Amino acid sequence: MRSILPPQLDVHYTSDWDGPMDGASIAEGDLEGYGLFPTWQIESDNEFWRRPLKLGEIGCAVSHWLCWQRSLESSDHLFLYLEDDVELADGFLVKLNDILARLTAFDPQWDLLYLGRHSKAPDQPALPGIVRPGYSWCAHGYMLTRRGVEKVVGTRFDRDLMPVDEFLPALYVDHEREGIRQRYPKVLNAYAVDPSLVIDLPRSIWGTDTEDSAFIGR
């Protein structure tokens, strides 16, 4: 990440912080003060819903939660969150600054901007290169305004942790699962860039710290 991030960015690495970040190293007691989504495993055709949560998913969720909290400790008003298995598009910063300028002029009240994702439902056009996202997976590259971070932290996600991939879309579309809809109502004004500016490397190259981990309680 140090080799690919533009030097103009003020970067903070979660690996420099204390906390149960790595699912592979979470031990009993590390999650004291956190809670898990109580009815995650259900009967479903979705393979990720019909199995228990994994330690890697929880480590990832806690990492994002800590990033959001740290954001509010700063005086900044715009935040970029990147996972460590990404590549940036050529001309990333120039393209991003253009998108941010156009989006803010179009809708100054935006909260969430996906820079990369896997779309699972139709999008709605907004501006050239910017859409209103449908239900989408992945949180490897996204931005939040300060107001957006305040809304996310206000959900108290730390009390009912689940995969961030499912949590973020629940905050801007009607989630398919009733239990998630009830726990996490829509609060975010969301957009996405199209095509992506941040690409997650395939599992065949990078592997997956979330899937290649043990189930919770096993």
* Model pTM score: 0.93
Residue 15 DSSP SS3? helix
Bridge partner residues of 142 (DSSP): 81, 114
Q: Residue 26's pLDDT is what?
A: 82
Q: Residue 24's pLDDT is what?
A: 77
Q: Is the dihedral of CA 126, 148, 158, 114 positive or negative?
A: positive
Q: Residue 199's pLDDT is what?
A: 95
What's the Cα-to-Cα distance from 94 to each of 23, 44, 155, 186, rounded to whole Å?
A: 35, 43, 33, 31
Q: Residue 201's pLDDT is what?
A: 78
DSSP class of residue 161 equals B
Q: Residue 203's pLDDT is what?
A: 55
Query: What is the residue extent of each domain of the chain?
Result: 14-206
CATH architecture of structural domain 14-206:
Alpha-Beta Complex (3.90)
For residue 200, give the nearest of 108, 112, 115, 76 by alpha carbon: 115
Q: Residue 67's pLDDT is what?
A: 96
Q: Residue 218's pLDDT is what?
A: 44
Q: Residue 204's pLDDT is what?
A: 55
Buried b / exposed e across 101-121, counting CB within 10 Å, b at 16+?
A: eebeeeeeebbbbbbbbebee
Q: Residue 25's pLDDT is what?
A: 80
Bridge partner residues of 141 (DSSP): 82, 116
pLDDT-flagged residues of the chain (< 70): 20, 202-213, 215, 217-218
Q: Residue 185's pLDDT is what?
A: 96
